[in-house]
Amino acid sequence: MSRIQVESRAHAEATYAALRRLPLPGDAADLSREDPPERRAREDTLPPHLAGLLAAYRRVPAQTWLHGVALCVDDSAGLLAWLEHPTQRSPALRDPPACALTAALLEVLRADHRDTLDGAGPPLPAHAAEVAARLDPLRAALWEGRAAPPLAIWHCPSLGTRGRAISGAFGRRVAIDLGQPVLDAVFVALHEETHAVSDALSVPDRAARLRRDTRRGAPGADVHATLEAAAVVVAAAVVEARAPELVEAYRQWERRWLGEYEIGSGAPSRGRPRTATQDFA
């Protein structure tokens, strides 16, 4: 029986909608690139509260934790409490820069995304269950020899072609846009899930993994590049071994994904990690 659930969570969609409004050139986690150029946010036209969020974001080193905040909690009330009360966060996220960043995100959510927070979440696409069904055997191969943790896929249209994921006592949570074509959604979800297996193998030092940074030139950017490289290679191997009929579709998705979002140059070499920075997973 599949251990994959597909769900819609309003607080996650609201968070990624807010982060998508930040122009982050040179940052692999830049969601604003999902918009066409004429609609992308521009720093010189941001309203004050968004400009404040952008400034706070830039002051926090290795700020990738912000992209997983919504996945750590179950609902809008939990998210707002986590952002508002430092005691709800780990000690590492209670210093002044982290508190300024969470406060700025809280302000943007309350000012501009209250309706989404108070809603039921975006409706699930008709093919959401098909995405889970197609992912299931690939995920089983990825976790072969170990018990795969339960997985919840949260539908977040604001992520576009990107994905976010986190592990916890609840198992695994992956946020993607389930509304994209079925195989694209499967491959994004597989990429996110692959990180749960490949990250510790490619960068064994957990402290180093926590210092990863998606910003080009940042001290932790090389760690992020290594983690992304390994996930790309391992996911490709899983598809080749367990779903050979999907290999060409996966390669097309991979080329498109790398071509549109790569920071750096060069294409991945089969069988070895890349060195160019890829998007935050």
- Determine, yes or no, domain membership for 141: yes
Query: Is residue 157 domain-shared with residue 193, that is, in the same domain?
Result: yes
pLDDT (tens digit per residue) in 211-263: 788 888 888 888 888 898 899 999 999 999 999 999 999 999 988 877 654 43
pLDDT at position 271: 36
Last residue of a domain, one of 94, 118, 142: 118
User: Residues 59, 161: one domain?
Assistant: no
Shared domain for 135 and 213, answered yes or no, is yes
Both 143 and 229 in a single domain?
yes
Residue 18 CA to residue 106 CA, distance in Å, equals 10
112 shares its domain with 181: no
Boundary (domain end) residue, out of 97, 118, 139: 118
Q: How many CB atoms lie within 10 A of CB 200?
A: 14
Q: Please indicate, yes or no, if residue 278 is contained in any of the structural domains.
A: no
Same domain, 51 and 100: yes
Residues 97 and 168 in one domain: no
Do both 138 and 253 map to the same domain? yes
Nearest to 179, CA basis, from 155, 203, 195, 154: 155
> Residue 2's pLDDT is what?
64
Mind listing the pLDDT tens digit of every residue in the chain (281 residues)? 568 999 999 999 999 999 999 999 888 899 998 999 889 889 999 999 999 999 999 998 777 889 999 999 999 999 999 999 999 888 888 999 999 999 999 999 999 999 999 999 999 999 999 999 999 999 999 999 888 999 999 999 999 999 999 999 999 999 999 999 999 999 999 999 999 999 999 999 888 888 788 888 888 888 888 898 899 999 999 999 999 999 999 999 988 877 654 433 233 333 333 322 223 44
65 & 172 share domain: no
Sheet of 4-7, strands arranged across: 4-7, 151-155, 171-176, 163-168
- Co-location of 53 and 166 in the same domain: no
- Which helix (H) or strand (E) is 165 found in, with range? strand 163-168
Distance CA 218, CA 197 (A): 25
Together in a domain, 133 and 98: no
Compute the 3-state secondary structure of the chain and give helix, strand, coil in percent, each to the nearest 5: 60, 10, 35
Is residue 271 domain-resident? no
Q: How far is CA 254 from CA 49, 183, 234, in A?
A: 36, 12, 12
Q: Is there a domain that residue 276 lies in? A: no
Does any domain span residue 31?
A: yes
Residue 2 maps to a domain = no
Is the same domain home to 141 and 105? Answer: no
The answer to whether position 1 is within a domain reads no
How high is the pLDDT of residue 259?
A: 66
Examine residue 274 and state whether it is found in any structural domain, yes or no.
Answer: no
pTM of the entire predicted model: 0.90
pLDDT at 260: 58
The residue from 63, 87, 118 where one domain ends is 118
- As for how many domains the chain has, the answer is 2
Its domain, for residue 231, covers 128-261
